[in-house]
Amino acid sequence: MAEKKPLKQYLMIPGPTPIPTRILAAMNHEMIGHRGPGFSKILGEVIEGLKWAYQTKNDVMVYPCSGTGGMETAVVNTLSAGDKALFVNIGNFGERWIKIAKVYGVDVIDLKVERGKACDPKTLEAELAKDKKKEYKAVFMQQNETSTGVINDVKALAQVVQKSHPDALIEVDAVSGLLAADLKTDDWGLDVVVSGSQKAFMVPPGLAAVSMSAEAWKAYESSKLPKHYWDIKNQKKFADKGQTYTTPPESIIFGMHEALKMIQEEGMENILKRHETNKNIVRSGVRAVGCRLLADDSCASPAVTAIFPPEGIDGEKVRSEMRRFGFELAPGQSDLKGKIFRIGHLGYVDYMELVATIGALELLFNELGTKVEIGKGVKAALAEIK
Amino acid sequence: MAEKKPLKQYLMIPGPTPIPTRILAAMNHEMIGHRGPGFSKILGEVIEGLKWAYQTKNDVMVYPCSGTGGMETAVVNTLSAGDKALFVNIGNFGERWIKIAKVYGVDVIDLKVERGKACDPKTLEAELAKDKKKEYKAVFMQQNETSTGVINDVKALAQVVQKSHPDALIEVDAVSGLLAADLKTDDWGLDVVVSGSQKAFMVPPGLAAVSMSAEAWKAYESSKLPKHYWDIKNQKKFADKGQTYTTPPESIIFGMHEALKMIQEEGMENILKRHETNKNIVRSGVRAVGCRLLADDSCASPAVTAIFPPEGIDGEKVRSEMRRFGFELAPGQSDLKGKIFRIGHLGYVDYMELVATIGALELLFNELGTKVEIGKGVKAALAEIK
């Protein structure tokens, strides 16, 4: 059986997530004039829906790009060359933000945390205390670090920044975290928040959103980094008339429009609970089949889990062999390549698909010679569905 | 009749163009792992198809962005701050490229040409002759200027550059021109060519492509402009393993994959002839109903036509009133706003839709008080279909 081409695909990567047929159907739509009233109405509703998801009254602008484009937008619109900025770096996407900032000549302070751990608020507090002249213009952090499956306590980290450096901006990459875990943009005082369509929004990739607080707009005015495509004041000028500066990715926007309806119908509490349960299913299931987890329970991501396979089995081998059963898993990145594999469980991912994933891992690990009692993993996984 | 909401929409703007159902159907596809072998195969075929459309053996890379992102990619990967570069500026998109270059500190020489005209190769020759020290690193030009409906003779302009400044790069914005008019990247020696999915490719917006000649790659090595999202060597590194640096806009790529099949089935000669006929239908039709054209026949675009309405009628009025009949037309940009309207006729636009557009204009102009003989425009339009 396992040698045959699988009948179905199970996309268990941390984005793009599977797309509900209702969203695919909404995208199956003719193009309309993007400078006409019909499009303006849809775009306006998308922006309102995004504000709901962000829990904000701040401006939210959208761009035709991937999440990384949103991260670049945050940097170039709030800083100047030579500005000091602190980067909470808990994984590959922390590294990416640092790389972007360095390209533009930002004076980067890299607060690197051991992989698999979140940033302890006390660690951030101590690091900020070193900056006695209060020179840091901004603190950048991931809400959820996709590469390690670790979630930061953004609320606690933001409080530390506000206490120590009240004038510093707080800029959050919420690309893989938004809607998987709670993020209160306004209540927590987050100045710039970046998200992407292909994550818990359940929409194909191609659209990023960026929110800007009043303080972030103030920083824009003094920011001297070169910007054109990412220029957010220009984007806002067009947003104010129901348009985007450049031609918008209409299909993705039609999909986002439907997705935001679905999301609001489900409700924030239900969405967050669903992702929490996904996390528990995966963690209990893979532990029961002899895997070790990269992240502690205390900082475990509700969006993606990074897993060490049983002793002697390569992470990339798990990925390639799981394809025989129809499962597409994610690789380890950078130093973790081959050491781990990752299961994405954000967006349009069902409890039972995750149970099935554990079942396939049981079959595979037995094939590969580990003695796993068949059924033990799925039993542990099922027990998490309450 | 004309007061009712129209039954159908006729999207006559210069992109996004209407999408064939065959392409929409291809896009109605589940997401797949973008770091897996299935996606690599599709992306590889898209790149091969793009090379066919570009008539090139050069590298072609794709980005999740609109056409403007492709224009920024061209600038930041080939130049450094302070470099002198000549911009052939025949309209709004010429202005846009200049704006991008100035943001990055390029020393811009603006060869501004009267709106509605192409750049005469002799004018370019004279301008280049002024640069006796041969300092110009690159010459930028639009193949087709969307804002004025003017097409440049890229072949002739490129020859002038090659003769005068053999070391200068030739960088072409072919976003709205590619496949509407012939463009031979290799035969004409074009170093960087930018295109966008939403034009004659007949695919929704959200994907741009950029080609790089060996000379352009050489320029990359000495280019010092800051770049991360647009860094084309990084993009190439991922392209070489069948991937993109950031998460690709999969739906658009599935659409492009199908579009490139359709385009190659139709054949380059047929596609170009179809756009030529579209141009003739529109020009003869609107002239017969009392309009004046912005562009001379000698430089008239096969992709879009800019039209002065009959005396006393505002261009924006034409646009808003034509919506009653179901037609979405494009506005004049910048100084031309209100003075002209534009009819897009590139991509998935049929001869008979254009005839219908002329028919609706006849009805409208009569309503607005001009004495147009009903049927005169459509007769002239039909006569162009050979």
Nearest residue in chain A measured CA to CA from B331 = A35
Q: Assess B18–A contact: CB distance below 8 Å, yes or no.
A: yes
CB contacts under 8 A, A 198-217 vs B, are 198, 204-206
Domain co-membership, B261 together with B292: no
* Burial of B267: CB neighbours in 10 Å, binned 0-12, 13-18, 19+: exposed
Q: Do B229 and A72 touch (CB under 8 A)?
A: yes
Position A1 pLDDT exceeds 50? no
Q: Is the dihedral of CA B289, B293, B297, B302 positive or negative?
A: negative
Cα A144 to Cα A92: distance, rounded to the nearest angstrom: 11
CB contacts under 8 A, B 24-83 vs A, are 24-25, 27-36, 64-69, 72
Nearest residue in chain B measured CA to CA from A202 = B31
Domain co-membership, A332 together with A195: no
Domain co-membership, B178 together with B259: yes
Position A144 pLDDT exceeds 90? yes
Q: Assess B21–A contact: CB distance below 8 Å, yes or no.
A: no
Domain co-membership, B169 together with B275: no
**How far out from the chain centre does Cα A195 lie?**
7
Nearest residue in chain B measured CA to CA from A10 = B32
Q: Do residues A19 and A202 lie in contact, with contact meaning Cβ atoms separated by under 8 Å?
A: yes
Domain co-membership, B169 together with B273: no
Q: Do residues A170 and A85 lie in contact, with contact meaning Cβ atoms separated by under 8 Å?
A: no
- Min distance B132 CA to chain A CA atoms (Å): 30
Q: Which chain B residues touch A226 with a CB distance below 8 Å?
A: 103-105, 225-226
Q: How many domains does chain A have?
A: 2
Q: Assess A328–B contact: CB distance below 8 Å, yes or no.
A: yes
**How far out from the chain centre does Cα B379 lie?**
29
**How far out from the chain centre does Cα B75 lie?**
17
Domain co-membership, B222 together with B312: no
The verdict on residue B23 lying in a domain is no
Q: Do A206 and B252 touch (CB under 8 A)?
A: yes
**Residue of A34, A226, A246 with shortest CB distance to B226:** A226
B274 marked as binding residue: no
Half-sphere exposure of B241 (CA within 13 A, CB side): 9
**What pLDDT is stored for residue B6 in this prediction?**
86
Q: Where are the beta strands (DSSP E) in chain A?
A: 10-12, 59-64, 84-89, 107-112, 136-142, 144-145, 150-151, 169-173, 192-196, 207-212, 292-293, 304-308, 327-331, 341-344
Q: Assess B259–A contact: CB distance below 8 Å, yes or no.
A: no
The verdict on residue B102 lying in a domain is yes
Q: Do B15 and A247 touch (CB under 8 A)?
A: yes
Q: Assess B7–A contact: CB distance below 8 Å, yes or no.
A: no
φ and ψ of A9, to 5 deg: -110, 135
**Residue of A196, A226, A251 with shortest CB distance to B251:** A251
Q: Assess B310–A contact: CB distance below 8 Å, yes or no.
A: no
Domain co-membership, B276 together with B260: no
Q: Which of B247, B256, B316, B349 to mutate to test the interface with A (most CBs of A within 10 A)?
A: B247
Domain with A272 in it: what CATH number?
A: 3.90.1150.10
What is chain A's mean pLDDT, rounded?
97
CB-based burial, A55-86: b 16+ in 10 Å, e otherwise: bbebbbbbbbbbbbbbbbbbbbbbbeeebbbb
Q: Which chain B residues touch A66 with a CB distance below 8 Å?
A: 64, 246-249
The verdict on residue B2 lying in a domain is no
**Residue of B28, B67, B226 with shortest CB distance to A246:** B67
Tokens 């005209």 identify what position? B117
Q: Assess A345–B contact: CB distance below 8 Å, yes or no.
A: no
Domain co-membership, A258 together with A316: no
Q: Do residues B377 and B362 lie in contact, with contact meaning Cβ atoms separated by under 8 Å?
A: yes
Any idea what the Cα angle at residue B91 is, between residues B86 and B92, rounded to 5°? 100
Q: Do residues B86 and B138 lie in contact, with contact meaning Cβ atoms separated by under 8 Å?
A: yes
Domain co-membership, B235 together with B309: no
Answer with the one of B235, B265, B295 that is the final residue of a domain: B265
Q: Which chain B residues touch A32 with a CB distance below 8 Å?
A: 9, 11, 328
The verdict on residue B195 lying in a domain is yes
- Min distance B156 CA to chain A CA atoms (Å): 30
The verdict on residue A1 lying in a domain is no
Q: Which of A9, A28, A31 to mutate to test the interface with B (most CBs of B within 10 A)?
A: A31
Cα B197 to Cα B12: distance, rounded to the nearest angstrom: 17
Q: Do B250 and A15 touch (CB under 8 A)?
A: no
Q: ipTM of the predicted structure?
A: 0.96
Q: How do the residues of chain B divide into helix, strand and coil, expressed in percent and rounded to 5?
A: 45, 15, 40
pLDDT band at A17 (very low <50, low <70, confident <90, very high): very high
Q: Do A64 and B67 touch (CB under 8 A)?
A: no
Q: Do residues B2 and B331 lie in contact, with contact meaning Cβ atoms separated by under 8 Å?
A: no
Q: Do residues B354 and B345 lie in contact, with contact meaning Cβ atoms separated by under 8 Å?
A: yes
Q: Assess B334–A contact: CB distance below 8 Å, yes or no.
A: no
Least trusted range by pLDDT, from A205-209, A268-272, B212-216, B332-336: B332-336
Position A3 pLDDT exceeds 60? no
Q: Do B36 and A103 touch (CB under 8 A)?
A: no
Domain with B187 in it: what CATH number?
A: 3.40.640.10
The amino acid sitting at A303 is: A
**What pLDDT is stored for residue B276 in this prediction?**
98
Distance set, CA B14 to CA A282, B154, B344 (Å): 49, 20, 4
**What pLDDT is stored for residue B4 in this prediction?**
63
Q: Assess A226–B contact: CB distance below 8 Å, yes or no.
A: yes
Q: Which chain A residues touch B225 with a CB distance below 8 Å?
A: 226
Answer with the one of B265, B292, B318 that is the final residue of a domain: B265
Q: Do residues A343 and A299 lie in contact, with contact meaning Cβ atoms separated by under 8 Å?
A: no
Strand partners, A342: A306, A330
Q: Do A33 and B18 touch (CB under 8 A)?
A: no
**Residue of A9, A227, A323 with shortest CB distance to B30:** A9
Any idea what the Cα angle at residue B235 is, between residues B229 and B236, rounded to 5°? 160
Pairing state between β B150-151 and A304-308? unpaired
Q: Which chain B residues touch A33 with a CB distance below 8 Å?
A: 11, 13, 328, 330
Q: Which chain A residues touch B238 with a CB distance below 8 Å?
A: none
Q: Do B247 and A66 touch (CB under 8 A)?
A: yes
Range of the domain at B343: 10-17+267-382
Answer with the one of B241, B265, B289 that is the final residue of a domain: B265
User: Mean pLDDT over residues A221-241, rounded?
Assistant: 98
The verdict on residue A24 lying in a domain is no
Contacts of A323 (CB under 8 A, 6+ apart): A6, B36
The residues of chain B scoring below 50 in pLDDT are 1-2
The verdict on residue B1 lying in a domain is no
User: Mean pLDDT over residues A373-386, rounded?
Assistant: 96
Give the neighbor-by-neighbor strand order of the sheet with A169-173: A59-64, A207-212, A192-196, A169-173, A136-142, A84-89, A107-112
Cα A343 to Cα A361: distance, rounded to the nearest angstrom: 11
The amino acid sitting at B309 is: P
**What pLDDT is stored for residue B264 in this prediction?**
98
* Burial of B257: CB neighbours in 10 Å, binned 0-12, 13-18, 19+: buried
Cα B62 to Cα B247: distance, rounded to the nearest angstrom: 11
Cα B110 to Cα B130: distance, rounded to the nearest angstrom: 13
Distance set, CA A86 to CA A95, A128, A137, A150, B131 (Å): 12, 8, 8, 19, 46
Position A2 pLDDT exceeds 80? no
pLDDT band at A4 (very low <50, low <70, confident <90, very high): low
**Preceding peptide of B16 cis, ω within 30°:** yes
Q: Which of B175, B251, B341 to mutate to test the interface with A (most CBs of A within 10 A)?
A: B251
Q: Do residues A275 and A302 lie in contact, with contact meaning Cβ atoms separated by under 8 Å?
A: yes
φ and ψ of B344, to 5 deg: -85, 135
Question: Six-digit token pair at B323?
Answer: 């919506």
The amino acid sitting at A12 is: M
Q: Do B249 and A11 touch (CB under 8 A)?
A: no
Domain co-membership, A160 together with A192: yes
Q: What is the CA radius of gyration of chain B?
A: 21
The verdict on residue A240 lying in a domain is yes
- Min distance B163 CA to chain A CA atoms (Å): 33
The amino acid sitting at A138 is: A
Question: Six-digit token pair at B339?
Answer: 């003075």
Residues A23-53: tens digit of each pLDDT: 999 999 999 999 989 999 999 999 999 999 9
CB contacts under 8 A, A 271-290 vs B, are none
φ and ψ of A63, to 5 deg: -135, 145
CB-based burial, A205-215: b 16+ in 10 Å, e otherwise: bbbbbbbbbeb
Domain co-membership, B314 together with B304: yes
Domain co-membership, B167 together with B147: yes
- By C-alpha distance, which of A145, A140, A62 is closest to A100? A140
- Min distance A204 CA to chain B CA atoms (Å): 7
